[in-house]
Amino acid sequence: MRGADAARSSGAPVSDTPDRIGKYLVQGLIIRTDYSEVWRARDPDLRQDVAVKVFRYKRTPGRDRIYGPAFWRERFLAEARVLAGLDHPHIIAVKELAVPENGEPYFVMPYIEANLIYEIGPDAEKPGGERPRALALERAVVLLRQVVDAVAALHRLGFVHRDIKPGNVLLTRKRGGSVKLCDFGMVKTPDTHGSRAGVWVGTLDYMAPEQRRDATKVDARADVYAIGALGYRLLTGTLPVGAFPPPHVAVPTVPRPLSDLVMAALAPDRAHRPANADIMLRRLEAIVPSLPRPAPAKPAAKLVSITRTTRPTRA
């Protein structure tokens, strides 16, 4: 997405595009939020496109009573450091973190071409006819396994992502690409620092019931719920909202063991869900050998990054 198009789609002005961020030559805006901006840029030394996420805090009077710039700057730095400490094929990497004299830190990631929305469409029908859609079983299982694998790596380290959703599942290509999980701005670290009582964070359609009540008290099972919602969306083309049938009832080609695993992840009572994504991964891998095999994917030509920060919402 070029800068002017991205800015128009987000309602952001295009007149304040910087020429450079550090050494990186800015090409265009990817996304602008209340706390950050992500720019497509060129690394002049490596001659590669990169995504540069910059801390830019926009003051809002009501919100500032609970969250101020110092809090969000700390969260921004924590996100970069968490990502830099991970080495996983399905988690976006951080190549550099810098804190310039203007006090607006930035970090640099590979530029990933797309996210899961390119394959499954929006969660609800949009004007113009773009509709949600299910994936072929083989493709849905490949993507679900890669997401679960990434989240399992986080859970082994004591992290809880808290915002797993299609927009945060990057794909190295628009069709047939591999997963790169991104946006760790809301991650809960083992010391539980970085959340405030009285608010919840995340995205409602993928959020566990207990996370809606208090994001500070969630554990790995909140991510398991989000994975279940994502799996349901991949397999059926719809969100698990209200009274919804199991995936194998909605789509008869979905094998019952896979349907049962998704429904277990979506249990309203977290005591009835798999305890973490590592357990879910083992259960999924036990199911996979009985499923159809996908055709091998072509190697990706390049990497891209679209990173979004989700605004916290008061409870």
Catalytic machinery residues: 163
121, 192, 215, 262 from 158: Cα distances, Å: 32, 10, 15, 23
Nearest-angstrom CA–CA distance, 108 and 20 = 13
Q: Say which DSSP state 288 is in.
A: G
Report how far Cα 5 is from the mean position of its chain's Cα atoms: 22
With contact defined as beta carbons under 8 Å apart, do 301 and 114 qualify? Answer: no
- CB burial string 191-213: b at 16+ within 10 A, e below: eeebbeeebbbbbebbbbebbee
- CB burial string 216-245: b at 16+ within 10 A, e below: bebbbbbbbbbbbbbbbbbbbbbbbeeeee
With contact defined as beta carbons under 8 Å apart, do 233 and 120 qualify? Answer: yes
Phi, psi of 188 (to 5 degrees): -95, 120
